[in-house]
Structure 1
Amino acid sequence: MLKAHSSVTALLRTTGISIRPEVTTLRNVACMQHLLGAVRWKSQLRPAPLLTARPSRALIDEQISIQGRFLPPNCPVTVRAHMHSEEGDLWEAFSHYNTDENGVVNLTKDPSVGGSYFGCEPMGLFWALHPAPSAREGLRLRKRDVETPYVVQLSLWEGHMTSDQDTMDELAGCLAALSVERWYMAPHTRRVEIRQNGVVGTLFLPSGPGPFPAMVDLWGIGGGLNEYRSALFASKGIASLSLAYFGHKDIPGPPNQINVGDDYFRSAYNLLQDHQEVCGERIGLIGLSYGVYLVLHMATHIGLKPKCVIGINGPVGSNDKWPSMMSGSSLKAVDEHGNFTVKDMTMPYNIAKDNKIKIETLECPLLYILGEDDNNCASVESANEIEEVLRSAGKAQLFTRLSYPGAGHLIEPPYSPNTSVSLWRAKPKRIRAFWGGHPAPHAAAQEDAWKKMFDFMDCNLRR
């Protein structure tokens, strides 16, 4: 005890702290040793760098706050995000920051000075995700299993690093790391597979008691069944039926052409209308790309009475070339660079009058969202024609246009990375789909359009 007391006393004297000789109990010596440790930590050490993300588990369209603390003041750092897609491909983004005088970097308010994006972009690490240099060509990030999250790894690095430097050594220079979960489905949202009366789809229902307002959700000529937008709708309180109409194993007939007609879409709408947890008088339609033509057709030609329609970058009509175009075999759909695009085919003047939507018969509000850099569909020209026809019919008040410079064809939920070109078909010849869009303005368009789309649905489905 005397030896311990002597050691503690000598060390405390170096700090200017004195003790009385009579304080010699083991308990007091232990307290003094603890005090000595606190003094040394405070005078000589600094907390380890800390990276935080709040919330660490959120829906894909929700912002999170990312912050690095306990860093050297006014020093360069890199924040990196990386994740693996469901197919196993690596996607990543990184950005350069400089800490403030307190050794803090806050992505909510601090500007990026380099890397995958520039400026103050709180969610830049997510919308700027892109395939790693070693990844396969022509990737597009799409969620197939909405009941599992994307798990994104965030890490904080010393200095301004490039992507190549990051992959050289995963340990050197890494100051802190954590993972966040990005979900398309909120807890207690219900997913119900629909195989009824020939209808193929997935119904998503919000948590809690119904009945709920609802949407019928159609995608484009990629075919299959895409659920993630409907899952998000239900997570926000709107029931949604994601509907397949071609290119799905449960739909009979050749996979590369549309084998269903008006009866199919009428059955899908009626199925949703008759569901006990859906308010049958409060149903809207939403379509992307070719899905725009289909939802406009449903609203004007087959006797349905939706409360509203949302179209995202789609045509005003169809034509006889769609079946061959679906499989990418139409030479007119492939440009000189091997890019698959239907922009010329969807120009209103290239669509026969009999194949156009009779938009003048529309009886509900229409929100048309377009990217001015859409390189796949004649969206600007389609919007112009729709607006002109409705104006001539005395229905201008039904039309709302959201137009976004620099945005491409695939305007999706917020913070989703844009793909301007992706692989459309690998065999017998590699053909790429040319979507268009520039990362930052496309991301801004997705965020703004998503908010205004919900405002539109709230106004027309809930009131």
Structure 2
Amino acid sequence: MRGPGPFPGIIEVPGIGGGLLEYKASLLASRGFATLALAYYNYEDLPKKMKEFRLEYFEEAVNYMLQHPQVKGPGIGLFGHSKGGDLVLSMASFLKGITATAVVNGSVANAGAALHYKDNTLLPIGYDIKNATYPKPGVADIRDVVYNPLEEANRKSLIPVGKADCKFLFIVGEDDRNWNSDFHAQTACQLLEAEGKEKPEVVYYPKAGHYIEPPYFPLCQISMHVFVGFPVVWGGEPKAHALAQVDSWQRIQAFFHKHLNQKHVLESKW
């Protein structure tokens, strides 16, 4: 983006694979945003395994962006997919300075590892692998293995989204086979509305799977799941999924421009 700035700021948090992935942040940076791709494990001096996290680490990243001279305030945006989705929901729920949060196929329950912040702890949501099905030999469908975070026994994993004070966009692939993203998005809406907050924008894509990426990324239908340790299906039909990627990427940019820049400025189709 031409010009001296400052620019609307976004922190992009990836999924459960770990390491530093910069492609989404780089694409957003080319569309007028000051972006930070945030690794949170298995990178340099960060923990090698996903055992437990402290939200203070993510708070440090938020404060860095809020104080950066090239970031246009007063608040910043958060963008997360899958495990990154529940992390940005937790950030929006507990931290200050968040104006807009976009979640792609995320969970309203804390997943994979305990998350601590001051005196608060969100436990990882439980699951029962016996509820997996096997559409192909040696390949699992794990959509229904995760427990319901609204049940009393699991509520210590439920992210208190109702505390958040920002705008939300939820992107939902209706054929997500990692978990029921529709349920998680609707639960987030209910938690916010119960606290008198505005109902978020939820966009549904029939026949789109879990890995809704930027436009023209190939559909990932089967791969090794880092957390469960065996191959899984991710869902999605090629044409519908590809169209969802094009449309959702436009919507995500427009959402952030609207709420962080107070205007919609897109210089190309994607």
Match of 1:274 in 2: 67
Match of 1:410 in 2: 211
The structure-2 alpha-carbon separation of the partners of 1:265 and 1:239, relative to structure 1 and needing over 3 Å to count, comes to same
SS of aligned partner of 1:357: coil
CA shift for structure 1 position 345: 1.4
CA shift for structure 1 position 455: 1.4
SS of aligned partner of 1:231: helix
CA distance in 2, matches of 1:322, 1:342: 19
Residue 423 of structure 1 contacts residue 432 of structure 1 at CA under 8 Å; is this kept in 2? yes
Query: How does 1:177-256 map onto structure 2 within 5 Å?
Result: 206-251=1-46, 253=47, 255-256=48-49
Amino acid at match of 2:259: N
> Aligned pair 1:371/2:173, yes or no?
yes
The structure-2 alpha-carbon separation of the partners of 1:343 and 1:410, relative to structure 1 and needing over 3 Å to count, comes to farther
CA distance in 2, matches of 1:360, 1:430: 33
Residue 143 of structure 2 contacts residue 176 of structure 2 at CA under 8 Å; is this kept in 1? no
CA shift for structure 1 position 439: 0.4
Residue 147 of structure 2 contacts residue 154 of structure 2 at CA under 8 Å; is this kept in 1? no
2:106 aligned to which of 309, 314, 334: 314
Residue 359 of structure 1 contacts residue 386 of structure 1 at CA under 8 Å; is this kept in 2? yes
CA distance in 1, matches of 2:24, 2:163: 28
2:55 aligned to which of 262, 269, 273: 262
CA distance in 2, matches of 1:373, 1:224: 27
Amino acid at match of 2:105: N
Match of 1:400 in 2: 201
CA distance in 2, matches of 1:267, 1:332: 39
2:146 aligned to which of 316, 326, 345: 345
Match of 1:283 in 2: 76
- Pairs aligned (count): 245
Residue 347 of structure 1 contacts residue 381 of structure 1 at CA under 8 Å; is this kept in 2? no
CA shift for structure 1 position 342: 6.0
TM-score, L = length of structure 2: 0.82
Query: How does 1:163-178 map onto structure 2 within 5 Å?
Result: none
Match of 2:117 in 1: none
Query: How does 1:9-408 map onto structure 2 within 5 Å?
Result: 206-251=1-46, 253=47, 255-301=48-94, 303-318=95-110, 322=113, 336=134, 337-339=138-140, 341=142, 343-345=144-146, 347-349=148-150, 352-395=154-197, 397-408=198-209
Q: Give the superposed CA RMSD.
A: 2.5
Name whichever of 337-346 and 358-367 sits farther off. 337-346
1:21-44 deviations in Å (ceiling 9; x for gaps): xxxxxxxxxxxxxxxxxxxxxxxx
Amino acid at match of 2:6: P
SS of aligned partner of 2:10: strand
SS of aligned partner of 1:284: strand
SS of aligned partner of 1:368: strand
1:191-244 deviations in Å (ceiling 9; x for gaps): xxxxxxxxxxxxxxx553111101000011111111000000000111110000
CA distance in 2, matches of 1:385, 1:423: 28
CA distance in 1, matches of 2:6, 2:199: 26
CA shift for structure 1 position 367: 0.3
Match of 1:420 in 2: 221
CA distance in 1, matches of 2:37, 2:221: 24
CA distance in 2, matches of 1:334, 1:257: 22
SS of aligned partner of 1:214: strand
Residue 13 of structure 2 contacts residue 88 of structure 2 at CA under 8 Å; is this kept in 1? yes
CA shift for structure 1 position 313: 0.4
Match of 2:246 in 1: 447
CA distance in 2, matches of 1:316, 1:213: 26
CA distance in 2, matches of 1:332, 1:215: 39
Amino acid at match of 2:101: V
Amino acid at match of 2:221: S
> Which runs of no fewer than 5 residues in structure 2 stay unpaired?
115-123, 263-270
Residue 129 of structure 2 contacts residue 142 of structure 2 at CA under 8 Å; is this kept in 1? no
CA shift for structure 1 position 259: 4.6
Residue 75 of structure 2 contacts residue 97 of structure 2 at CA under 8 Å; is this kept in 1? no
CA shift for structure 1 position 274: 1.4
